[in-house]
A and B are shown apart, each in its own frame.
Chain A
Amino acid sequence: MIPIALIASFTITLAATPLIMKLMRRVGIIGIDVHKPSKPEIPEMCGLSMLIGLVASSIILLSIQFNPKILAFTLTSTLAAIIGIIDDIFTLKAKVKTALTIICFTPIAIMSMIYPNYIVLGKPRAPLIGGFRLTIVYWILLPFAIAVPANAINMMDTYNGVMSGGCAMMSASLLASSIILGQWDEAAMSAIILGVSSAFYYYNKYPAKAFAGDTGSLMLGAAIGSIAVLGRMEIVGITVLMPFIMNAFHSLSSIGGLLERREIAERPVKVVGEYIEANPNPKAPKTLANLMLRKGRATELELIKSYHALCAISSIMGVITAILMLVRI
């Protein structure tokens, strides 16, 4: 199942992306790459190809053997992608978008009620102690288990290849963690995400030829969140997402709440020729880029490498967390 998921998702996304790029150019869904001096126009909403790759490879897996977990994962990711499509076309307010992503957990909740033997909720595994049981608290936190990764990943889709490359590393970590823990369904789902994100990275890497848009970033975030929930690997999920959570947590706390990009008066960084500098204004959001650039200006490529290095560290930490889940003290 894992090789099929990986090859199918990678091939389909790799083939679909150029077609989606052409379509977006034709209909005029274009974004400006603001971090380059020439400000090139790049087709937006190309994350649609990742949705095609994810849904098609899930259908292939489901046609081989029906699995409620894979169905819940596909429905959750698709629901997040639909919210992303609406946002890419109509530009929703940040609070509305976040509120909408909160409902993305419903397919998992419904499927857990229909198939209680397959989908077990409220019993997260934990390192060094094995696991614990949460009843009421888990159901309160469940909507955020999908909404937080979806929005955190969406907020870090700011530089070429950071989101897609970061998600590829995270899904590789989740794949390894699932294999370590013997969670084969989650390993197949992680392989799908690894396939779609690495194929999309080919077009999204510096200098980008395609932007994922909220369609791609919200979908990948919801997919990663759903793998963590379905596989009872919430702690691994938090660990691999740490750079994304750090970025969202510090930027939101510095601007005092949820705001859309266009609603923020000060940008976190300034583009000076081919270099990017941290914005010294105290009102500027403290994003990871702002924090990293406090040590000195960098080119866009240097900044992207820094993001990827942090994602690589958190991905390794994710695998260590999974290994620690097999240890009892």
Chain B
Amino acid sequence: MKTLKRIWDLALIMVAVWVMMIALIVMIDKMVVPLKISVDGGAAQTIFEALIKLMISAFMAMSWLLIWVKMIQKYIERYNRI
């Protein structure tokens, strides 16, 4: 019981991070990957399109990491009584 009390918040953060990770993967697959920007489909435009998709995915991944950090910061603020 004591152990569960100690880890409860961190376990919740861990589960939230995991759920968000899976949601992120699904969002990238369903929304970012099918994205069509180029019209004529030339080599330069295909590379440009791939780069845009990569940047959007990287931005989403960074946001995920940032939310994770913010959750830990909130936790520290809440238990900063030491």
Contact = CB atoms under 8 A, between A and B. Distances in A.
B54 interface: yes
A132 B33 CA distance: 10
B14 A246 contact: yes
Question: Interface range on chain A: under 10, 10 to 19, 20 to 34, or 35 or more?
Answer: 35 or more
Interface stretch (A22-30, A209-217, A285-293): A285-293
Contact of A321 (B7, B22, B30, B33): B22
Nearest to B19: A317
A271 to B, nearest CB: 15
Interface in B22-72: 22, 25-26, 29-30, 33, 54, 68-69, 72
Contacts of A306: 3, 6-7
A321 to B, nearest CB: 7
A294 B79 contact: yes
B17 A126 contact: no
A129 B30 CA distance: 9
Contacts of B30: 129
A317 B15 contact: yes
B52 to A, nearest CB: 14
A129 B29 contact: yes
Contact of B14 (A277, A293, A310, A329): A310
B29 to A, nearest CB: 4
Given A129-B26, A132-B33, A295-B79, A242 B6 contact: no
A258 interface: no
Contacts, number: 85
A34 interface: no
A295 B33 CA distance: 43
B19 to A, nearest CB: 9
Contacts of A296: 6
B82 A278 contact: yes
A313 B26 CA distance: 23
A324 B23 CA distance: 12
Interface in A204-246: 235, 238-239, 242-243, 246
B76 A291 contact: yes
A291 B75 contact: yes
Contacts of B11: 309-310, 313
A277 B80 CA distance: 13
Given A305-B3, A306-B6, A137 B54 contact: yes
A310 B7 contact: yes
A295 B5 contact: yes
B79 to A, nearest CB: 4
B45 to A, nearest CB: 18
Contacts of A310: 7, 10-11, 14
Given A295-B5, A302-B2, A314 B10 contact: no
A253 interface: yes
B70 to A, nearest CB: 12
Contacts of A309: 3-4, 7, 11
Interface of B: 2-7, 10-11, 13-15, 17-18, 21-22, 25-26, 29-30, 33, 54, 68-69, 72, 75-76, 79-82
